[in-house]
Amino acid sequence: MIISGNNITDFTVYRFNFKPIIEPAIGWVKVSNGGYKSVDRGSTEDVYMSEIEFYGKEAEIDNIITQFNNSRVSTDNKLFLSEFNEKDDILFGANINYYLGVYVIVLEIGKKKQQNLKTFEVSAKLMLVPNYTYVGTPQQPSIYHLFTGYSGYSLFESKYNIYYENGSTFHNFDNDSGIFEGNFLMTLTEVRNFRSLLFSSIRGGYMTLTDKMGVDAIFGPTRQIVYPINVNILEFEDEPQNHNFWKIKIKLVEYKS
């Protein structure tokens, strides 16, 4: 990967690890009927970051720190990342188009650390500048490869009041919401298409489940589900296990209009 920009000398990095951090500009608010409504500031406000650990000889690490610092204090502090290796085209997430390169800014520069006699490392946090494009076709994957440890339950909505004459009242509002949380394994193509569906197509809307995702009672035994059903995706996190396979964390809630 080549890094270039104003006020720096272009350089190439070969050895690094990274973790994408993605914050969609979508908030969720629980409303009186037990459902959720979204507050969406738009896809241009989504934030794509990456925590990166660079490795190399001391002179290479010193150069990375110097160039990043020069960029940080420059009037135009954008850096341009290009010539991505085949395995690095997920640096800021699976659904970003890296073919023509991307612009970033440096948010944080970490400590320089010695690993052994000749190898050093430094961490940095970079954020994409919003002039990128997306890859992937909006498509819902077949969600079957479920990790152990999922949870499916219903929120019990009721109120018990005791008033001053020692009487009491019980109100069952009958607006329970089914919630499911689980981790799944997906391919890179499935993640790209799923992200495209969630954050370029439906965003704060609902998604339709046509089957049970490998779980008989996704909202627990008290709710009898008849498919298809509509759900809101309250949380979505993806983490590459390697280039081709990703661990996906999903929290979804039963949709109520």
> Do 220 and 111 share a structural domain?
no
> Do 14 and 112 share a structural domain?
yes
Could you tell me whether strands 207-209 and 178-187 are parallel, antiparallel, or unpaired per DSSP bridges?
unpaired
Using CA atoms in the order 28, 30, 36, 39, what is the torsion angle rounded to 10 degrees?
A: -30
Contact (Cβ atoms closer than 8 angstroms) between residue 248 and residue 238: yes
Tell me which residue range forms the domain holding 90. Answer: 2-128
Q: Is residue 133 part of a domain?
A: no
Q: Mean pLDDT check: name the lowest of 37-46, 147-156, 180-189, 233-242.
A: 147-156
Contact (Cβ atoms closer than 8 angstroms) between residue 143 and residue 150: no
Contact (Cβ atoms closer than 8 angstroms) between residue 255 and residue 232: yes
pTM value is: 0.86
Q: Is residue 215 part of a domain?
A: yes
What does the DSSP 8-state code read for residue 8?
S
Whether 206 has a pLDDT exceeding 80, the answer reads yes
User: How far does Cα 8 stand from its chain's mean position?
Assistant: 31
Tokens 């204090």 map to which residue? 73
> Do 97 and 36 share a structural domain?
yes
Tens digit of each residue's pLDDT (9 = 90 or more) over 107-122: 999 999 999 988 999 9
Q: Is residue 238 part of a domain?
A: yes
> Do 177 and 113 share a structural domain?
no
> Do 186 and 94 share a structural domain?
no
> Do 119 and 163 share a structural domain?
no
The conformational region for residue 253 under phi > 0 = left, psi -120 to 50 = alpha, else beta, is beta
3-state secondary structure 116-181: CCCCEEEEEEEEECCCCCECCCCCCCCCCCECCCCEEEECCCEEEEECCCCCEEEEECCCCCEEEE
> Do 230 and 161 share a structural domain?
yes
Contact (Cβ atoms closer than 8 angstroms) between residue 220 and residue 160: no
Q: Is residue 142 part of a domain?
A: no
Tens digit of each residue's pLDDT (9 = 90 or more) over 26-52: 999 988 787 899 999 999 999 999 999
| Residue of 51, 190, 71 lying closest to 121 (CA atoms) | 51
* Range 89-112 burial, b when 16+ CB lie within 10 A, else e: bbbbbbbbebeebbebbbeeeeee
Q: Band of the pLDDT at 172, cuts 50, 70, 90?
A: low
Q: How many structural domains compose the chain?
A: 2
Top mean-pLDDT range of 28-32, 88-92, 123-127, 139-143: 123-127
Number of H helices, E strands in the chain: 2, 16
Q: Band of the pLDDT at 129, cuts 50, 70, 90?
A: very high
CA 157 – CA 178 distance, rounded (Å) = 11
Q: Is residue 197 part of a domain?
A: yes
Q: Is residue 207 part of a domain?
A: yes
Q: Is residue 224 part of a domain?
A: yes
> Do 197 and 99 share a structural domain?
no
> Do 198 and 95 share a structural domain?
no
Q: Taking the CB of residue 149, how many other CB atoms lie within 10 A of it? A: 8
> Do 182 and 86 share a structural domain?
no
Q: Is residue 141 part of a domain?
A: no
